[in-house]
A and B are shown apart, each in its own frame.
Chain A
Amino acid sequence: MKTSSRRFFGSIVAAAVGLPFLSLMLWSFAERWFYPALWPQAWGLRAWRYITSTAGLQVMTAIGHSVVVAAVTAAVAVVIAVPAGRALGLYDFKGKDLVSVLLTLPIIVPPLCVAMGLHLWFIRLGLAETYAGVIGVHLTFCLPYAIFVLWGVFANYNPDFEDQARSLGASRTAVMARVMLPMILPGISVAALFAFLLSWSQYLSTLIIGGGRVTTLPVLLFALMGSGDRPVAAAVSLVFVAPAFIALLFSARHLGNRSLAGVR
C-alpha cells in the first residue's frame, strides 16, 4: 500500500517534470506536425542539423555569451556574498533588519521595472549594450539570493574553528583559505549555482540592457521562436535546459552528502 502510493505520487511528479520535455523532444525531431495529429507526421533531424550546422555558429556564440555572463555573475555574486553573509550571519549590528529588507527588494520588485530604471542610468554610465552592464543588471537579482544562501550558512557556522586554527599557527589569510573556505564550500557552490542559473535564464533584463547586442542563449531562443520554426525553437530550448540539468545533478551530489555536518 505504502510503496504503491509512493509510486503513484512519484509518477505524478515525474510526469509534471517530464511532460514538457517530452513535447520538446517530439517537436525537435518533427519534420511535419500539423493539427489534429497526435504525433509528428514526419520525423527528421532537420532542426538539430540546423542548430548544429547552419545556425551552429550563432548558437555556439550565444552559448558562449551565456556561459561567460552567467559565470562572471556567479563569481562576482559569491565574492561579494561571502563577506556579506559572514557579517549578517555572525555579527549583530545596527540596521541588520534594514539590510534584509533592502536585499529582498530586488526580488520583490518586477525585474522589468528594475531593468527599465537601470537602463537610463546605464546609458549615462556607458554600461548599456555592454557585457558589464548585462552582468550588472543580472547581479541585482543574483546577489540577494547568493547573500541569503551564505547568510544561512554563516548563521550555522562556528567561528571557534577559526580561533582554534589561529592558535594552531594559521595566519589570518591561512584561516580564510584553509579553514573558512573549505568549511563553507557546500554553501558557496549552492550560492554560485543559484546565481549561475538565475543569470542563465534572464531574458528581459538582458534584452533591455544589452539592447540586442549581447546575444545570450535566451535572446537567441526568443528570436528563433518568433520566426515560427517550432522544431528549431524546441531544439534550442533543450540545449538551453542542459546546463540546468547538469547543475542539478552536481548540486544533488554536493547537497546530499554530509559535508555541512561539521560546520555546526
Chain B
Amino acid sequence: MGELDLKNLRIDYGARIIIQNFNLAVRNGEMMSLLGPSGAGKTTILKAIAGLLTPTGGDILIDGQSVRDVPPEKRDAVMVFQKPLLFPFMNVAQNIGFGLRMRGQPGREAQRHIGAILALTQLAGLEHRKVHELSGGQQQRVALARALVLKPSVLLLDEPLSNLDANLRQRMRELIQTIQSETRMTMLFVTHDQSEALMISHRVALLLGGRLRQVGEPRELFYQPADPEVARFFGGRNFFKGRVRDGQLHSDLGVFPVGPQNGNGHVRTATIRPEDIRIAPQAAGLSRGLRGRVVKTRFEGSSTRVVVACGANEVIVLTSEDAYRPGQEVAITVPPEKIRLFPGD
C-alpha cells in the first residue's frame, strides 16, 4: 500500500508563507509529478512529507495514518535528493545497504535485497566501487537504489534527473518508469521540466505561486488548462478576449462556436496553442484566413516560431516550414475546435 494524502498543508519559512491550503492525494501505485517553476516550494513539500521539516499547519497521511508526529527515520516515505549525496566513505554496496543496516536487517537477507536492487538499477558489478569512481549517472542510480531497497510506501524524488545531461536524462527517466511499473511503488516526482512531467507521470500536479493550480492527467493539463497561467506554463502564448453570445465567441480573431454551456453575455478569455494555428502565404488565397503581417521569426530547428500582427493583436504561430520573413503578408486560420475557453472571468 502507498497512499499519500496532504491535507490543508501550510509551511512557513520564518515570516514567509511558502505553501498554504495545499491539498493533494496520491493514489496507491501512482506516479505523480509535482510540477512547478524553481522556487515554487516543491522541495519544501517533499521535505515535509519525508519529515525533514515540520509543517506549520495541516496534516500528512500515509495509508490513512497521520504521520505528523512520526520522525523521518520511522516514516514510510523515503526521499531521493537532487544531488546523489552518496556517503563518500562507503562503497556502492555499503551505500545501498545503509538504510537496511539502520533498520537492523540481518546480513544475508540484506545482501539478497541489495543484489536484487543492483540488478534492477543496472548497477550489477559495481558494488565494490568507490563512490568517486562512478559517473554522474551511476551515482544517481546508486542514490535511487539506496532508497528503492527499503521498499517504502511512498518514494519521493526531488528532481533526480536535473544534474544529468540530455542523453543520460532520458535513459534514467525510462529506468525510473520501468522500475515504477514493475514495482508499482507510489512515487511523487518533483520537477520543473514540463515535458519531463508529461512524459513520466500518470498524473501531474501543477504548483504555481505557492498554490496548486491543476491536478490531472498529462493530456488534461496540456489541452484543458484550468486558467491562463497554467496554459502559459505549458507554452501557451496566444490569449484573447471575446464576448460569448448564443454559443459563439465574438473576438478580434473571429467568431467561433464554443457550445451552449458557456455563460451568455460574458467576456471570456480564450487561448489557442501556437502549433494549432495554420499559416499560409497570402498568395495562396485562403478564403477564411485572417490577414496579418509577419513581425519576426525565430528558427527553432524542427519548427519555426512566427509572430504575426493581426490588427491590434499579435498571434504566435509555430510552423514546420521555415518560409516566412518579417514584413511578409500572411493568412492565418484558427481552427475553432482547438480553442480553449477558460471558465469564469
- Measuring CB to CB, which residues of chain A are less than 8 angstroms from any residue of chain B? 158, 160-161, 163-171, 174, 178-179, 182-183, 185, 258-259, 261-263
Contacts and interface: CB of A to CB of B under 8 A. Distances in A.
Contact of B52 (A163, A182, A185, A259): A163
B147 A259 contact: no
Given A160-B81, A167-B52, A169-B73, A262 B87 contact: yes
Interface stretch (B95-103, B261-269, B275-283, B309-317): B95-103
A185 to B, nearest CB: 8
B146 interface: yes
A183 B146 contact: no
B83 A160 contact: yes
13 contacts: A158-B85, A161-B87, A163-B79, A165-B98, A165-B102, A166-B73, A167-B72, A167-B147, A170-B102, A178-B102, A183-B89, A185-B89, A258-B132
A104 B131 CA distance: 38
Contacts of A178: 98, 102
B85 A164 contact: yes
Given A160-B85, A163-B52, A179-B87, A168 B147 contact: yes
B125 to A, nearest CB: 22
Contacts of B73: 166-171, 174
A186 to B, nearest CB: 10
B88 interface: yes
B47 interface: yes
Given A163-B52, A163-B81, A262-B131, A168 B89 contact: no
Given A163-B52, A258-B132, A168 B98 contact: yes
B11 interface: no
A262 B147 CA distance: 19
B132 to A, nearest CB: 6
A262 B98 contact: no
Given A167-B52, A170-B102, A262 B86 contact: yes
B234 to A, nearest CB: 31
A76 B290 CA distance: 83
B160 to A, nearest CB: 12
A136 to B, nearest CB: 34
Interface of B: 47, 50-52, 71-75, 77-79, 81, 83, 85-89, 98-99, 102-103, 131-132, 146-147, 150
A178 B98 CA distance: 10
A163 B47 contact: yes
Nearest to A169: B102
Contact of A164 (B71, B77, B79): B79
Contacts of A163: 47, 50, 52, 72, 79, 81
Contacts of A165: 87, 98, 102
Nearest to A171: B73
Contacts of A168: 73, 78, 98-99, 102, 146-147, 150
B83 A169 contact: no
Contacts of A171: 71, 73, 102
Given A169-B103, A170-B102, A171-B73, 19 more contacts: A161-B85, A163-B52, A163-B81, A165-B87, A166-B52, A166-B71, A166-B72, A167-B52, A167-B75, A167-B147, A168-B150, A171-B71, A174-B102, A178-B102, A183-B87, A183-B88, A259-B88, A262-B88, A262-B132
Nearest to A179: B87
A168 B74 CA distance: 9
Give the one of A164, A165, A171, A174 with max B CB within 10 A.
Answer: A164
A42 B313 CA distance: 107
A199 to B, nearest CB: 29
A168 B103 CA distance: 9
Contacts of A185: 89
A54 B89 CA distance: 49
Contacts of A183: 87-89
A166 B102 CA distance: 10
A261 B88 CA distance: 8
Contacts of B85: 158, 160-161, 164
A167 B78 contact: yes
Nearest to B105: A169
Contacts of A160: 81, 83, 85
A170 B86 CA distance: 15
Contacts of B75: 167
A178 B73 CA distance: 14
List the 5 shortest-distance A-B pairs measured between CB atoms, nearest first.
A262-B88, A168-B99, A169-B102, A166-B72, A167-B79
A91 to B, nearest CB: 14
A261 B81 CA distance: 19
Nearest to B156: A167
A182 B90 CA distance: 10
Nearest to A260: B88
A261 B131 CA distance: 11
Query: Could you say which of B52, B83, B102 has the most chain A C-beta atoms within 10 Å of its C-beta?
Result: B102
Contacts of A261: 88, 132
Contacts of A263: 88
A167 B150 CA distance: 11
B250 to A, nearest CB: 55
Contacts of A166: 51-52, 71-73
B135 to A, nearest CB: 16
